[in-house]
Structure 1
C-alpha cells in the first residue's frame, strides 16, 4: 500500500493562522486543517460570514477574528490574540486578497491601486511580520503565502494585481532567506484561475474564456490548491523554503 505524501496526524494539535478564511482557498484550507485536528485562528474582514463558516467546522478549537489585513496593528493584535488563546503558533496561510474591476494603466484609479496593493501585498507583509516572531518562540514553523500566476506574467487591465502578486513572490523569497536558519519555512503557491468568489462576477462566456487559458481546459477548484498548501505546511516539505509551487492547470508552461 502506498503511504500518504504527509502524515495527516502531524497536524493534530498544531496552531494555524489562516487569513481570508471566510471563503475560497482560505475556507477550503481551514476546513481541511480542522478535519486534520489543527487548532485554528481564522481571520477575515467579513466577520459575519467568518462566524457562520467557523460554526460549520468539525473542530471546537477555532478562534474567528474579524480582521482587516491592511492594518499593521490589527494583524499584530490578531496574531497575539491567537497565541494567547492557543499557546503559540506553528502554521500560517496568508490567503486574504481582493480583485477590482479591470482598467488599463493610463486610466487606472490611484485609490484602486492603493487598495489592491494594501490588501494583496502589504497585508501579506503585515501577517508574516507578526507570524514569524510567534513561531520562533515555538522553535520554528511554516508559512504559505497565496500568490498567483500573475506573479509570473503580466495581465492586461490588471496592473495593481499583477504588481502585488509579483511582490508577494519577491517578499516570500526574501523573508525565507532571512529566517531559513531559524526553523521557519516560507513558501508560496501560485494558483491559476480558481472557482472562488473572486470569479463570481464573470459571465458564463468569460468563465469559459478563463478556462480556455489553461491547457487543462478548465478552472481549478479551491481544494486542489489546498492540497498543495498542506504539503508545503507539512514536514514532507522540510527542505522546501523560498519556493513557489505553481498550481495552474499548465498555464505557466505555455
Structure 2
C-alpha cells in the first residue's frame, strides 16, 4: 500500500486479536508502530513479533480510560518518531452481560460507554491535535456491525459502537480541510480470542448468520484499517466500512 513507509502509527488494544493483527500489518507496510495495551505481556509479545520480522515498534502500557496514559501515548510518538501520522483506535469494551435494555444496570451502562465511546474520543482529541501540528494524518476507529444496526440484549455496547460511528463522521467533516481523514472499521463476527472461548453452538450460530458462512480473520480487519490509513484511500473520509462477510448487504 502507498504512503505508510516511515510513518508512525499508534494502535490501541494491540496485544491480541484485531489490534495485534493491525500492528503487525502496519509494520509490514513500513510504519513505525506504537503498540499499546493494558496487558503488558501481550503487548510486548506483539512488539517482539514485529521486531522478529524486521519492523520497528515500541510498547506502552495504556489504559484507554486514563487521560494521562493517552497523553503519554501521543507524546511518545512525537518524542520517539517525530510525530503521529496515523492511529488505529481499536481498544474497547466487550458486550458484557447480555440482557434486555430495561435490565441493564446504570453501572454497566456507564462502564461500557466510557470504555467504548468516551475513550475513543479521548484518543482522538490528542491524536488530532498532534496531526494538526504536522499538517495532516489518518485515524481509524474500530466500531462494529452493532454500530450500524440494532442487536438484542447488548444495548450499552450497541449504543457505544453507534456513537463511535457518529463521532467518526462528525470529526471527519470538521477536519477534512486540515488533511486529517477519519474513518471506522465495522467488523462482523471475527475469530478473536473472545470468540474462541464461546461454546461451539454459539460460534456455529454466528457463522450461520454470515452470508459467507464463516467468521472473519483478524487480519482481514487489519487489512481494512491499514488501507484506510494509506494513500490508496486518500479520498475516503467519514466512512464506516463494513468488513462482515456480507451481513450488512441484507439489511
- 3-state SS of paired residue (2:124): helix
For residue 208 of structure 1, give the secondary structure of its aligned residue in structure 2. helix
1:247 aligns with 2:243: yes
Question: Shift of residue 44 of structure 1?
Answer: 0.7
User: 170-179 or 66-75, which moves further after superposition?
Assistant: 66-75
The answer for the alignment partner of 1:3 in structure 2 is none
Q: Kindly indicate whether the alpha-carbon contact (under 8 Å) linking 1:20 and 1:97 is maintained by their aligned counterparts in 2.
A: yes
Question: Cα distance, 1:72 vs. partner?
Answer: 2.0
Match of 1:112 among 96, 108, 111: 108
Long gaps (5+) in structure 1: 1-5
Distance in structure 2 (CA, Å) of the matches to 1:174 and 1:59: 37
The counterpart of 1:221, out of the listed 191, 198, 217, is: 217
1:60 Cα deviation (Å)?
5.3
Q: How does 1:36-185 map to 2 (within 5 A)?
A: 36-57=29-50, 58-59=53-54, 61-99=56-94, 100-185=96-181
Find the aligned partners of 1:35 and 1:248 in 2 and give their Cα distance.
24
Kept in 1, the 8 Å contact 2:62–2:69? The answer is: yes
CA contact (8 A) 1:154 1:162 kept: yes
Q: Is the 1:98–1:198 Cα contact (8 Å) retained in structure 2?
A: no
Is 2:48 the counterpart of 1:29? no
Q: Residue 191 of structure 1: CA displacement? A: 0.7
Moved over 2 A (4+): 58-61
Q: CA deviation at 1:201?
A: 3.0
Matches of 2:214 and 2:83, distance apart in 1? 40
- The Cα shift of 1:24 comes to 0.8
**How many residue pairs get matched?**
247
Structure 1 position 139, deviation (Å): 1.3
Shift of 1:112: 1.8
Residue aligning to 2:196? 200
Local SS of the residue matching 2:138: strand
Shift of 1:71: 1.5
- CA distance in structure 2 between the partners assigned to 1:219 and 1:107 by the alignment: 30
Kept after mapping to 1: 8 A contact 2:37/2:61: yes
Whether the aligned pair in 1 keeps the contact of 2:60 and 2:73 (CA below 8 Å) is yes
Question: What is the rounded CA distance, in whole Å, between the counterparts of 1:251 and 1:19 in structure 2?
Answer: 26
Secondary structure at 2:64's aligned position in 1? Answer: coil
